[in-house]
Structure 1
Amino acid sequence: MTPARCTQPPSGKAAMAAAQYRAALPVLKTRRLVLRAPTLDDLPVWTSICKDSFGDTDQDAWTEFSYYTSGWLLHGHGLFTVTLKQDAQVIGFVILGLEWDDQEPELGYLFRADHRLQGYASEACSAVRDFGFDLLGSGQFVSYVSASNARSNALAKRLGASRDAVAEHAFDADQHVWRYGEVPA
């Protein structure tokens, strides 16, 4: 089957323009990781994670990848591709962005199964949390986490977030809202 045209990297002047636009986006570096703007070369890893985690189709994964990436142009924040500093291998993604029903920017993450439970999510999310504080300010972004997702709830707590009971009232009882920085009274 021929891959959809929209998933194919551009060439010529369009490729140079895309690289120039990406170069204007922030790059975050940690002890083991580099977080950078996504490219179409990252799409297969994104698609694989989405298929394994959510049962997404290729088209669903493309749509999500596109709107998370577009956040950079629309809101000034968006999807980071997480790579290993030592070899530039793509291991996951961290987002500071907005989905359709989000009331405020969300800090979220997706990692390949073989790169979970190694501290990468904590390291990458810490860098994006600090980026979010600088860009949006304390208390201005959250993580939406299912009450049953013990690991993600624990990560939000380790990152210094606090449950926001007022924000949680807008959701069903299974949804936790973790606020980074000040929790409104």
Structure 2
Amino acid sequence: MTATATITTDRLILRKPAARDLDTVVAFFLSDRAAHVGGPYTLGKAWRQFAAEVGHWDLLGYGMWAVTTKESDQIIGLIGPWCPADWPETEIGWLMFAGSEGRGFAFEAAQAALRHAFQDLDWETAVSYIAADNTRSIALAERLGATLDPSAPQPKPDQPCLIYRHPNPSEVSL
């Protein structure tokens, strides 16, 4: 496995999250926008969630990237590989912050994350766990070529979600 701390796409830079991203990420987890990922959180839980994002990199050598545009280092979302110890499968996750929707940033970053997971991390499979009422995330998963997999194991059986299975990017054209 090779870890890639930075990926550049046509319009974006995907980099390892850093301390300078704390306030923006915590603000997301405190907001109603975090409803699809168990929020809004308390300040302490939001802070610890950001620490988990950073720690994922230190423990596994990869994780969700801080997504920025090439014009600014201001984080606009978190996208990438996510697989805490109790997750049943490897996930490509995404969280886009206020004002970053509708420009294809999530699609562009998620495509890069999927390529990295399958090609560089040698993943054999990847899923995205999505709240049933999160229509934007469902649309993104489907645009990426993912299909609903009702037989996949739930990450939190007491809080069921939809599970979308991604094809290997080398096997599809997006």
- Give SS of 1:113's match: coil
In structure 1, C-alpha distance between the alignment counterparts of 2:22 and 2:154, rounded to whole Å: 35
After TM superposition, the score normalised by the length of structure 2 is: 0.80
Residue 118 of structure 1 is matched in structure 2 by 103
1:101–1:122 distance in 2 versus 1, CA, 3 Å: same
Tell me, yes or no, if the aligned pair for 1:68 and 1:95 is still in contact at 8 Å: no
1:55 correspondence with 2:34? no
CA deviations on 1:67-96 (whole Å, 9 max, x unpaired) are: 222222322321211111012222111131
Residue 91 of structure 1 is matched in structure 2 by 76
Q: Pick the aligned partner of 1:134 from 107, 119, 122.
A: 119
Within-5 A mapping of 1:23-172? 25-52=4-31, 53=34, 54-99=39-84, 101-137=86-122, 139-167=124-152, 171=157
Tell me, yes or no, if the aligned pair for 1:45 and 1:92 is still in contact at 8 Å: no
1:58–1:95 distance in 2 versus 1, CA, 3 Å: farther
Tell me, yes or no, if the aligned pair for 2:7 and 2:112 is still in contact at 8 Å: yes
Question: Mind listing any 5+ residue stretches in structure 2 that lack a counterpart?
Answer: 169-174
Residue 177 of structure 1 is matched in structure 2 by 163
Worse overlay, 151-160 or 166-175: 166-175
Letter in 2 for 1:82: V
Worse overlay, 91-100 or 115-124: 91-100
Tell me, yes or no, if the aligned pair for 2:6 and 2:15 is still in contact at 8 Å: yes
Misfit runs of 4+, over 3 Å: 135-139, 168-174
- Give SS of 2:125's match: coil
In structure 2, C-alpha distance between the alignment counterparts of 1:71 and 1:138, rounded to whole Å: 17
Question: Mind listing any 5+ residue stretches in structure 1 that lack a counterpart?
Answer: 1-23
Q: Which has the larger radius of gyration?
A: 1
Question: Percent of aligned positions with the same letter in both sequences?
Answer: 34
CA deviations on 1:13-42 (whole Å, 9 max, x unpaired) are: xxxxxxxxxxx7521111111000111000
Q: Which has the higher helix share?
A: 1
After TM superposition, the score normalised by the length of structure 1 is: 0.76
Higher RCO (CA-CA < 8 Å; seq separation 6+): 2
In structure 2, C-alpha distance between the alignment counterparts of 1:56 and 1:166, rounded to whole Å: 30
In structure 1, C-alpha distance between the alignment counterparts of 2:123 and 2:145, rounded to whole Å: 11
In structure 2, C-alpha distance between the alignment counterparts of 1:132 and 1:78, rounded to whole Å: 10
